[in-house]
Amino acid sequence: MSQAQALGIAIDAGQQVSGLLLAPPEARACFVFAHGAGAGMTHAFMAAMAAGLASRGIATLRYQFPYMERGSRRPDVPRVAQAAVRAAVAEATRRLPAMPLFAGGKSFGGRMTSQAQAAGLLPGVKGLVFVGFPLHPAGKPGDERGAHLFEVSVPMLFLQGTRDELADLDLLQPLVERLGARAELRLFEHADHSFHVPARLGRDAEVMAAMLDAFAAWIAAQGA
């Protein structure tokens, strides 16, 4: 498999973040892949997702949010995070001009991507994929964080563990149903927000493989 290419992504005249482009030969689509709040683009989960997608013919552009680039633990405010999402999508378009684009990410990264799409279309993005959508803080169920999804017009795929403490299924499932035909929810039994499963009930590798297969099948169904 080809190696990820390190690159810089300019957000504005004075700010740049790091990125990793993994584009296998004959890739049929590219996923602009944002990281979660607590770990950056090189985290083992992000790397495994990128490698698994590459083996299924899907390129990825991973990138850092500015706070992670600085080594801070406090996530960027939405305005700053959304600017990074837009810059990463623009970079993917520049690097892979003829390739269908999808965008999203793990937890916080997915939510910042959907907020950016709701605020103003991400050019060329055909759909959004959420790898554990963080509908609410742990222990504080609510669906207010999903309100902006009704402003998203492109197809959406939610990949979600049934033990995710940041997405009560009694709230997430009705929300996805209200979004209508443009949204699809795929559940992974016993997986938590990090897609870990108890050892007595399965293996993380099996969950990852099933998630990647569902991801690739959905991309194909969008015509990519």
pLDDT tens string, the chain, 224 residues long: the values are 578 999 999 998 789 999 999 999 999 999 999 999 999 999 999 999 999 999 999 999 999 999 999 999 999 999 999 999 999 999 999 999 989 999 999 999 999 999 999 999 899 999 999 999 999 999 999 999 999 999 999 999 999 999 999 999 999 999 999 999 999 999 999 999 999 999 887 799 999 999 999 999 999 999 87
Cα(96)–Cα(102) distance, integer angstroms: 12
The model carries a pTM of 0.96
- Order of strands across the sheet that contains 101-106: 5-12, 15-22, 58-63, 29-34, 101-106, 125-131, 156-161, 183-188
Query: If you classify domain 5-221 with CATH, what class do you get?
Result: alpha beta
Q: Please report the pLDDT score of residue 200 as a whole number.
A: 84
Confidence at residue 23, expressed as pLDDT on a 0 to 100 scale: 96
